[in-house]
Structure 1
Amino acid sequence: MKTKVIISWIAQIAAAVILLQTLWFKFSGAAESVYIFSLLGVEPYGRIGSGVVELIAGVLLLTPRYCWIGAGLGLGTMAGAIASHLTILGIDILGDGGQLFALALITFVCCAAVMLLHWSKAMTVVKGILPAR
């Protein structure tokens, strides 16, 4: 296997695992998730909506043809999570020692790596959608 393929799969799997393992907390209404989204003023719709987006991103990240779309969704979702931590929530939430913030950063970096490694695929699709100049 090529190094690029190996690195991509490691990043895809790492991001997907993080995104998918948090779904239980969001969809079950775990106290920590309800607390976070209540602070943000978007409980329950923001919690469930972000869970749906993260589910789609996680599945797409594990699909070779569409992993770049999953990476894009993951980047956007994690950018929102990181911004929320830095502006409203803080790094440490309910004494977690910054674990959720760290997971958001790791997922963001993994999704960025996948997007960069599959940039040509993404640009081919974008060029096919946009009108010619």
Structure 2
Amino acid sequence: MKNKKIYYLERAAAFIAAIIFIQTLYFKFTGHPDSVHIFTEIGGEPYLRIGSGVIELIIALLLFYRKTSLIGAILGLGVMIGAIGQHLLVLGIVVNNDGGTLFILALVTFICCLIVIVIKRNVLMEYLKKVRS
């Protein structure tokens, strides 16, 4: 029973993170004014906006499949560290009067990716052992 609960927790965390990544793609790929504003503030409009959208699409696809969710979670964690850092250092927590929604979504995605990594840590350790030898 415990293994089933862990399986469902990993799948739920991976799906939540993937859905958040996919939801933001609309704003990035359509050039939504809020997205353009954010990437102008950090000095990466339009290349960083489009590039991060492509990377987030790949991450979302990796998170949907159980066999690749660990890779997606590791990449997603890295992207979310960057997003959270930009909020804390450049943008602020509230961007364009959003009430901190983007920042909260970044935190939720970060936590979901971290949950996947912790649950699959044995797989990660086995892979790292193979790389070392």
- Using the size of structure 1 for normalisation, the TM-score is 0.94
Q: Larger deviation: 96-105 or 44-53?
A: 44-53
The reply on whether 1:41 has 2:4 as its aligned counterpart is no
Partner of 1:87: 89
Query: Gapped runs of 5+ residues in structure 2?
Result: none
For 2:29 and 2:5, locate their aligned partners in 1 and report how far apart those are by CA, in whole Å: 36
Partner of 1:14: 16
Q: Secondary structure at the match of 2:44?
A: coil
Compute the displacement of 1:119 (Å): 1.1
Whichever residue aligns with residue 88 of structure 1, its letter is: V
Whichever residue aligns with residue 4 of structure 1, its letter is: I
Compute the displacement of 1:112 (Å): 0.2
Compute the displacement of 1:97 (Å): 0.2
Compute the displacement of 1:98 (Å): 0.2
Partner of 1:118: 120
The reply on whether 1:61 has 2:47 as its aligned counterpart is no
**Paired-residue identity, %:** 48
Report runs of 4+ in structure 1 exceeding 4 Å deviation: none
Q: How many residues align?
A: 131
Query: Gapped runs of 5+ residues in structure 1?
Result: none
The reply on whether 1:127 has 2:122 as its aligned counterpart is no
User: What value does the CA root-mean-square deviation take over the aligned residues?
Assistant: 1.0
